[in-house]
Structure 1
Amino acid sequence: MNRRIFLATTACAALGGVGAYLYTSQPNMTDIVVTPANAQDGVEIDTSMVPDLIMGDADAPIELIEYASYTCPHCANFHSNVFKQLKENYIDTGKVKFVYREVYFDKYGLWAAMVARCGGDLRYFGIQGMLYEQQSDWIGGGKDAMEIVSNLRTIGKKAGLSDADLDACMNDGDMAQAMVAKFENEMQEYDVSGTPTLVINGEVNKNMSYADLSAKLDAILDA
């Protein structure tokens, strides 16, 4: 997937001329373009409301940062065929501190991330797993925005979120702007242009199989 500077969010009203509500029961909805958040009238966006997504021992010898998008099929494949073994053998055993960084190449990836974050720290990674496992189902043909919103809400409710929870989260324009600003800052840190990207102790790596990843991790641990 190629990086996009502009993120379209479904909206019925703009916040500050840029941000937008992501869900509404109103039938007449328009697309508002979210431009790079840090460039809005020279105002720096406060991203403190968007916590880092971390799993594992904070003092682990290896830090692995994954940049991934919920609409990226390669990311879904990574989480299906690589991540489960990575978690079992390296994260849960204290060898790897895992940091997940959300990438929004499209509006649907942003919406999915907002649903995942709606569950808070305790539910985030559980909802993440559902989003990747059911990626082709909730995205569908990718053309009907309201159908995708409905599918994401269904996943959220299966994870234990109420309609009120989802309404509040998916209409939180301030949170959406902060998430976009955080995404832009994090993408610049390692000049990430595609997903999944794996940053292992500061070294940028492209997508890889579990065998290749485990070999790289073991070599670091044995050094």
Structure 2
Amino acid sequence: MTRKSLVGRVMLAGIALMAAAGVSHAAQQNWTNTVAKIDGGHTIGNPDAPLKLTEYVSYTCPHCATFSRQADDAIKLAYVTPGRLKLEIRHLLRDPIDLTAAMLTNCGDTAKFARNHHAFMLAHPEWMAKATAATRAQKQRWSTGEEAARRRAIASDLGFYPIMEQRGYSRIQADACLADETMAESLADISKRDWQIPGMEGTPSFAINGQLLPQIHSWAGLQPALQARISASASQ
């Protein structure tokens, strides 16, 4: 398949999703730039949207990265942009690498979170490969010494600093966030609480209007459930 035909198919798929959601192009108002920080996460989209989709994600989870690459643009184009749905992203931390990435995506202005998150998910195959191939000496640096120094070692060894530089952060700014123990403790505490949600099975997991969707952990599983709720909401 040529690049031109692939791009064409992606555009057609996006148009089809918008049509299925009952959204006319003329009526669109782009809500994807509306980002708010809430207790334990961030929301993207219309604060008054009738539906809220919550994504519980981990940065070291390959299935989360796959979901992000498959679904992020489709969800934002068809549902968030026209204001039908508010997207909430929450961190389910699994390890120190996960915490380090989460601290960097939460670094700086709230408005930057959505693109920070997308950047780390998009680059996941590259930096996760480095984590998998880490030497014993590297892993030792990640698990001993002062906490901020451990996180700086992870960020250095896995290439997190270049990701942040592409997002407009200097190394000094990134290190300041990695040294924020209040942020680290808050992210860890909220993650621990969310892991205790009844029925929480792993990452990624999803909830619609606060109701966890059991046994749905992929875009293939989520899309029909989400579309059904969008259609029901539109008919009310």
Name the structure 1 match of 2:160: 152
User: 1:172 aligned to 2:161?
Assistant: no
Residue 130 of structure 1, aligned match among 119, 122, 126: 119
User: 1:62 aligned to 2:82?
Assistant: no
Displacement, 1:187?
2.7
Displacement, 1:106?
1.2
Task: State the identity as a percent.
Answer: 27
Name the structure 2 match of 1:119: 108
CA RMSD of aligned residues (A): 2.3
Specify whether residues 95 and 158 from structure 1 end up closer, same or farther in structure 2 by C-alpha distance, changes over 3 A only.
Answer: same
Name the structure 1 match of 2:195: 187
Give the conservation status (yes or no) of the 8 Å contact 1:91–1:98.
Answer: yes
Give the conservation status (yes or no) of the 8 Å contact 2:100–2:154.
Answer: no
Displacement, 1:188?
2.5
RCO (CA 8 Å, sep 6+): is it higher in 1 or 2? 1
TM-score (norm 2): 0.68
Name the structure where strand makes up a greater proportion of residues.
Answer: 1
Deviations 1:20-41 (A, max 9, x none): xxxxxxxxxxxxxxxxxxxxxx
Deviations 1:75-130 (A, max 9, x none): 11111111211111111111111110011111111100101111321211111111
Displacement, 1:49?
9.8
TM-score (norm 1): 0.71
Give the conservation status (yes or no) of the 8 Å contact 1:138–1:148.
Answer: no
Name the structure where helix makes up a greater proportion of residues.
Answer: 2
The one-letter amino acid paired with 1:167 is D
Give the conservation status (yes or no) of the 8 Å contact 1:49–1:175.
Answer: no
Instruction: Give secondary structure in 1 for the equivalent of 2:106.
Output: helix
Structure 1: tracts of 5 or more residues without a match? 1-47
Specify whether residues 218 and 174 from structure 1 end up closer, same or farther in structure 2 by C-alpha distance, changes over 3 A only.
Answer: closer
Residue 103 of structure 1, aligned match among 92, 104, 114: 92
Instruction: Give secondary structure in 1 for the equivalent of 2:169.
Output: coil
Question: Aligned partners of 1:204, 1:119: CA distance in 2, in Å?
Answer: 30
